[in-house]
Amino acid sequence: MNGPRLHIDLDEFASNLDVVRARVAPAGLMLVVKDDAYGHGLDRIVRRATREGVDWFGAFDVAEALRTRAAAGPGSRVFSWLTVGAEEIRAAIDADIDLGVGDAGFLEDIGAGARAAGRPARVHLKIDTGLHRNGIRPEDWATVVGRARELQDEGLILVVGAWSHIAEASDQDDDDARAVFEDAVVLAEAAGFDLEVRHLSASAASFARAEFRYDLVRVGAFCYGIRSAGGVPEAELGIRAIASLQAPVTHVGDHAVTLGVGFLHGVPSSLGRHGALRVDRKSVQITSVGEQHTLVASFGPASVGDDVAFFGPDGASATDLAEKIGTVGEEILVRISPLVPRTYSGE
């Protein structure tokens, strides 16, 4: 019998891309592909997105940015925001990666890397707007901008962007963050930088709040059809989950059926204590999650060997599961073991 598999519908992904782009226009979309495109498989996601005309990608580290560059080809822009060492800076510059810069030391390292590479590095300066998660503090911003100006005048960098990241948890906090961002942009422009892109928001604020879109939005979750926990339902957003976790029925008892998927495959065992869920369009009770098996009660007619969707567009979504155990849909997806095979439609 087959084991579980994660099936990814790339046509559904393309529809989500259309929905997101229509919503944020005239701002552009940077598709965020961190964590192997949230567990969906970076290479295929990037290839399909490129075919759909996506021309900005957001990768977390340089290794992921290089994979993205290889899959996307030379025409698109790939942004990477993790602070890294000299060797990786050099590799990033050689592969034409845009670098997010959230501290003064990293800016110097990039200058040195560009000198060695013999070509300037494209840089997006990051202001810390309150999350305290890597970013230049407002009180240091003028100094760092001044130093960036010197490096640009030496031909070592090109400052093409200003950016930050916001919590998207409360409108008031986001508004405060946006005010800090606006001041930072004014200062950067006063220093003579011709900013090609200002970017601040991720999925939730990009959708809900036009004034947060600027030139570019960095969206991951909604493109994969993952709604925010406690947020607007998928149907209202116009998106659909692109991944479904398929599992075989391995045993049928009088009051329960066993599915061949468990915590070794990445299903959180804590789901076993959390009540009714819709699995494969039916309302079921997850009784327990073991190593390789999950016991579900009141499943209705089923035969050994049936393939059911544990989560996916037609039953519980990853976010529905996540809400049961106090996390977010992204976590359900990135926890699916790399050993679970991925299958694709719409390649």
Ligand X SMILES: *Cc1c(COP(=O)(O)O)cnc(C)c1O
**Residues at the site binding ligand X, with contacts judged by CB under 6 A:** 32, 34, 81, 165, 202-203, 218-221
Tell me the closest approach of the beta carbon of residue 100 to ligand X, in angstroms: 8
Assigned token pair, 253: 């008892």
- Within 10 A of 235 (CB to CB), how many other CB atoms are there? 9
Q: Which is nearer to ligand X, 134 or 287 (CB)?
A: 134
Q: Which is nearer to ligand X, 239 or 286 (CB)?
A: 239
Peptide bond into 248 cis (omega under 30): no
Cβ pair 147, 104 in contact under 8 A: yes
Tell me the closest approach of the beta carbon of residue 205 to ligand X, in angstroms: 9
Alpha-carbon distance of 316 to 281, in angstroms, equals 8
> What is the full DSSP assignment across 291-317?
SS-EEEES--S--TT-EEEEESTTS--
Single-letter amino acid code for the residue at 14: A
Q: Which is nearer to ligand X, 4 or 220 (CB)?
A: 220
Tell me the closest approach of the beta carbon of residue 204 to ligand X, in angstroms: 6
Tell me the closest approach of the beta carbon of residue 161 to ligand X, in angstroms: 13
Tell me the closest approach of the beta carbon of residue 283 to ligand X, in angstroms: 29
**Quick check: helix, strand or coil at residue 64?**
helix
Tell me the closest approach of the beta carbon of residue 34 to ligand X, in angstroms: 6
Task: Kindly tell me the burial class for residue 4, based on how many C-beta atoms sit within 10 Å of its own C-beta (0-12, 13-18, 19 or more).
Answer: buried
Q: Which is nearer to ligand X, 5 or 240 (CB)?
A: 240
Task: Kindly tell me the burial class for residue 138, based on how many C-beta atoms sit within 10 Å of its own C-beta (0-12, 13-18, 19 or more).
Answer: middle
Q: What is the number of residues in the chain?
A: 347
Cβ pair 180, 186 in contact under 8 A: no
User: Per DSSP, what are the bridge partners of residue 177?
Assistant: none
Q: Which is nearer to ligand X, 208 or 252 (CB)?
A: 208
Q: Which is nearer to ligand X, 65 or 259 (CB)?
A: 65
Q: Which is nearer to ligand X, 62 or 284 (CB)?
A: 62
CA atoms within 13 A on the CB side of 113: 25
Alpha-carbon distance of 168 to 166, in angstroms, equals 6
Tell me the closest approach of the beta carbon of residue 222 to ligand X, in angstroms: 6
